[in-house]
């Protein structure tokens, strides 16, 4: 079985290009990014899969009145295996992010450009490489007439780029028996060009908005006002002290410590000769799982009280996003071992290892429900950038790793 699949997959360059061209042409932007959602892309994908002979997808549509069709589509496609009680799932997402400044692109971000082994276009890596790799394996199963040891499942989800409320989070809560406790889960949505990062854990994530309110006045009479910018600057300089409050390190992660970074700053006044009465900044916190995010917000607010007392301002807070880390996938879980074995077999010289990351992935929604999941892919690592690109050879190589996992399931 495995040799036949690997041989068939090795000859799929043209299919990789064709699928990427079709998918790139449909900008599946969610409403938070100013788009109509994933419906058009999901419909085109359904047609492509039907033309290749795949089983009819099961749709799990999450209601969303902000998009024209009223829902966000999630598609589950299952090729039956010898053991129909278990499924190896490959989970990818349909939505993309906007292209940003188009002047920085080498061409139209929604028109695929082929340059040797590389494909350029918005979404080609994030997450169409995973979409295509999973389809390649399914197509190879159909072409060779292979019945895998367990079911082979492809799950194409919505809304990964803006929180997954209408994507895997919704599917995991409303799947009605789609998943079982013995299933294997692979999410090819993060990785390194070396293929060696096998993500099994994530830090907790907190995005915190801080609004500093003073009193606006003319800059020539500062005694008539309260300078919110000066107070905000003082507050920002206190944020690094969080490293002393939460000092733990975990070698599974890189960096091994929690991180606390002031990032976005909203505009205040338009002219130079006005002392601002309101300043807003944001803090991005990636916190080791052993710490409670409520303790982090309490520490930030304590610094804020110091600033209020020192500067005479008032400070308000808002949680933009808060995700306490899900339980880690055990490093000796079957899916971890099988993925690492597949990587070693396909990518010569690779030394895969379990790792943790600072960003959240959709795997958290599986791990919170007791499903060990691995996040892995062999990526150029340029998601969200201008001239996003992906490797044809690595798209095929990842499909071959998936074939190894399936054959050994």
> CA–CA separation, 90 vs 188, rounded Å?
7
Question: Measuring CA to CA, which residue among 201, 202, 150, 137 is closest to residue 179?
Answer: 150
Contact 211, 264 (CB under 8 A): no
What is the residue-level pLDDT of the chain in tens, covering all 409 positions? 899 999 999 999 999 999 999 999 999 999 999 999 999 999 999 999 999 999 999 999 999 999 999 999 999 999 999 999 999 999 999 999 999 999 999 999 999 999 999 999 999 999 999 999 999 999 999 999 999 999 999 999 999 999 899 999 999 998 888 999 999 999 999 999 999 999 999 999 999 999 999 999 999 999 999 999 999 999 999 999 999 999 999 999 999 999 999 999 999 999 999 999 999 999 999 999 999 999 999 999 999 999 999 999 999 999 999 989 999 999 999 999 999 999 999 999 999 999 999 977 889 999 999 999 999 999 998 989 999 999 999 999 999 999 999 999 8
Radius of gyration of the chain (CA): 24
Angstrom distances, CA of residue 233 to CA of 38, 211, 230, 243, 292: 41, 12, 5, 18, 26
Neighbours of 25 (CB within 10 A): 16
- Phi/psi-derived region of residue 145, left when phi > 0, alpha when psi is between -120 and 50, beta in every other case: left
> CA–CA separation, 60 vs 177, rounded Å?
12
Q: For this structure, is 160 an active site residue?
A: yes
Which distant-in-sequence residues (6+ apart) come within 8 Å of 302 by Cβ? none
Question: Measuring CA to CA, which residue among 363, 45, 17 is closest to residue 190?
Answer: 363
Helix 392-407 vs helix 129-144: crossing angle, to nearest 10 = 60
> CA–CA separation, 45 vs 100, rounded Å?
25
Exposure b/e, 179-217, CB count within 10 A at least 16 = b: beeebbbbbbbbbbeebbbbbbbbbbbbbbbbbbbbebb
Cα-Cα-Cα-Cα torsion 104, 107, 111, 116, nearest 10 degrees, comes to: -100
Point out the catalytic residue in the list 95, 159, 202, 398.
Answer: 95
Helix 129-144 vs helix 2-9: crossing angle, to nearest 10 = 120
pLDDT of residue 325: 93
pLDDT of residue 26: 98
> CA–CA separation, 252 vs 158, rounded Å?
29
Question: Measuring CA to CA, which residue among 98, 231, 128 is closest to residue 189?
Answer: 128
Contact 191, 363 (CB under 8 A): no
- 3-state SS, 228-262, equals HHHHHHHHHHHHHHHHHHCCCECCCECCCECEEEE
Domains along the sequence of the chain with CATH: 2-202+327-407 (3.40.630.10), 204-323 (3.30.70.360)
Point out the catalytic residue in the list 64, 160, 199, 202.
Answer: 160
Unique residue bearing structure tokens 């033309």: 51
> CA–CA separation, 167 vs 298, rounded Å?
31
Q: For this structure, is 95 an active site residue?
A: yes
Joined tokens for residue 187: 């999410």
The strand pairing partners of 72, in sequence order, are 62
pLDDT of residue 137: 98
pLDDT of residue 337: 97
Beta strands in 99-253 (DSSP E): 113-115, 118-120, 150-157, 184-187, 197-202, 204-213, 217-218
pLDDT of residue 265: 97
Angstrom distances, CA of residue 307 to CA of 118, 139, 230, 232, 304: 51, 61, 10, 8, 5
């Amino acid at each position: 079985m495995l040799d036949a699949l690997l041989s068939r997959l090795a000859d799929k360059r043209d299919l990789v290009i064709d699928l990427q061209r079709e998918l790139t042409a449909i900008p599946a932007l969610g409403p938070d990014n100013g788009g109509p959602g994933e419906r058009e892309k999901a419909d085109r994908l359904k047609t492509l899969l039907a033309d290749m002979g795949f089983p009819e997808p099961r749709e799990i549509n999450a209601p969303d009145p902000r998009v024209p069709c009223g829902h966000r589509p999630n598609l589950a496609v299952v090729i039956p295996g010898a053991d129909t009680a278990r499924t190896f799932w490959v989970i990818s997402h349909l939505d993309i992010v906007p292209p940003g400044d188009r002047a920085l692109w080498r061409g139209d971000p929604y028109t695929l450009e082929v340059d040797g082994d590389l494909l350029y276009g918005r979404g080609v890596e994030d997450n169409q490489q995973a979409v295509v790799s999973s389809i390649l394996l399914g197509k190879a199963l159909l072409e060779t007439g292979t019945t895998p040891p367990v079911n082979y499942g492809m799950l194409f989800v919505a809304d990964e780029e803006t929180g997954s409320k209408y994507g895997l989070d919704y599917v995991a809560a409303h799947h009605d028996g789609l998943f079982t406790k013995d299933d294997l889960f692979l999410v090819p949505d993060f990785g390194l060009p070396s293929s060696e990062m096998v993500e099994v854990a994530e830090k907790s994530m907190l995005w915190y908005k801080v609004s500093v309110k003073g009193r606006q006045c003319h800059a020539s009479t500062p005694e008539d006002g309260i300078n919110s910018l000066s107070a905000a600057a003082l507050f920002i300089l206190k944020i690094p002290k969080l490293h002393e409050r939460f000092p733990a390190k975990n070698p599974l992660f890189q960096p091994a410590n929690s991180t606390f970074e002031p990032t976005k700053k909203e505009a205040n006044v338009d002219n130079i000769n006005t002392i601002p009465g309101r300043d807003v900044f944001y803090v991005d916190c990636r916190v080791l799982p052993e710490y409670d995010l409520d303790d982090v917000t309490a520490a930030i607010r304590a610094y804020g009280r110091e600033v209020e007392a020192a500067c005479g301002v008032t400070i308000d807070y808002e949680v933009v996003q808060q995700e306490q880390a899900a339980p880690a996938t055990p490093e000796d879980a079957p899916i971890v071992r099988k993925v690492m074995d597949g990587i070693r077999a396909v990518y010569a010289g690779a030394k895969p290892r379990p790792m943790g990351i600072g960003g959240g992935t959709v795997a958290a929604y599986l791990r919170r429900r007791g499903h060990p999941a691995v996040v892995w892919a062999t990526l150029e690592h340029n998601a969200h950038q201008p001239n996003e690109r992906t490797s044809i050879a690595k798209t095929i190589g990842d499909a071959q790793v998936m074939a190894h996992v399936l054959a050994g399931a």
